[in-house]
Structure 1
């Protein structure tokens, strides 16, 4: 974050503001953790702030301090719109294009107040007056820690904020195993633990609260896995019928795509999940090494993200999507066999 942006934020926060904080649609641990941490920080500075999420998110994230104050735009529409209409500043976290917030997009586009973006994804759009964008960062939560540090307030990070920030860093780094994890990341995490983040308890709340249905769904997913040794690729399909059979709940498929990368020799893993309500196939891409799933998702599946983790979608059927995906692999033979 450059000095000009820091001064602009300081100027904004030097006066009382009505601030709306927005994560992306289907918020994950980093989105929920970063928005709640910023919410606590702004409230503690005497600002009026509220988090408005585009839609619901998994139960295993709802323990975080301040969760009860998040407005769900889908379920609390009139209240959420009222807060947005009153806003004098909008912070958008963990996304960089307003197309990532679903039905909220048109509402935010109508605002004429300053926007502040904090995000680590590639190819940001230019809707925000103040941008803190850094694709090298592990997570938006680590960026929020930096943001607070830039403002000279790192000593004001409370245990509640530390819990939220730790959660986002932990989940977005794959429990600190992804290559974006740096020594700086561990130093930030160490400071968060010193400030009260309950690291063992956080891990338990996020990863050790499975339902029988989720574990049975995982078994189904692994049974469906297709391994293409020639292209060092593995992919999983899950139909709507299979999701219904195992009483799917939001967040149940979180992390399933990573199982493909646990296979020796596999560097490209994908999961295709049928969503009949939206009429699409939701896709998650993961890779190891230099193969850019961000470029792959952008080129063929209306998606994007990071070099080693991205998302996308398809309007084809589940079977047709999988076959189309397989047909693309030959184009990347050299990269996948390198």
Structure 2
């Protein structure tokens, strides 16, 4: 058994730069740890397989070679990147009780977590623009949403995410980290990571706030604006059948946006001092694990094209 109290005292008394961190993870759930480990492992497997299925179906089915499904594959890539960056280490923490990670690995984990998060925000904004053109300006849709344009704007969203997160991560890495090195979380999130620093973090926090504007705040405002226009256009449609069809084309995306931004805002808008440790972990689970799991389910269950492509693929496999 590890004496965590003795270890904590030893770590706090040491002012030398830290080289490793202790992730307490879910050490407080006691006998339910094995049950939660099994549940998290199943969720991880379903989420990865579901997103890989969408990528495979879109890549191999000609009917799905459209801008909407092209963006959906990038969203699935972002989801796989997000959940794979977080869950394996969380499972390790559940197995051993307390996870030990080198400090550089902690920074790397946050780096890829932030990239996946930023790219998801930007991709959801791009997808809302796609739905806006399809419903509000259908005559201009084909001329604007050409495949070259879709590839360029998707590539730009990834590049922007990599660049902004790189600037942020380098700034964080330049801080002095001299302990304690205990993180009361199951992954290296921004707030618990900065709390390990013994430097003045006010400028870093200001920089992070400014960098979050182009990748979180502005995309959310853009998505909200486009959906106001979409809903207004749908309500103007006189035919009930056409109105229902128009709404069904964006309902899946609207559901995903609501879940993602709802859980994200509830996690980062509430001050850290107000949140309890358990509440912080639960809210983080909703967008790091819940969103990658729900995205392929929502798009599969509410999309006839995906279901038809899946049925045809199963039929083709059964012939061999």
Structure with more strand by fraction: 1
**Normalising by structure 2, what TM-score?**
0.24
**More contact order relative to length (CA 8 Å, sep ≥ 6):** 2
Structure with more helix by fraction: 2
**Normalising by structure 1, what TM-score?**
0.23
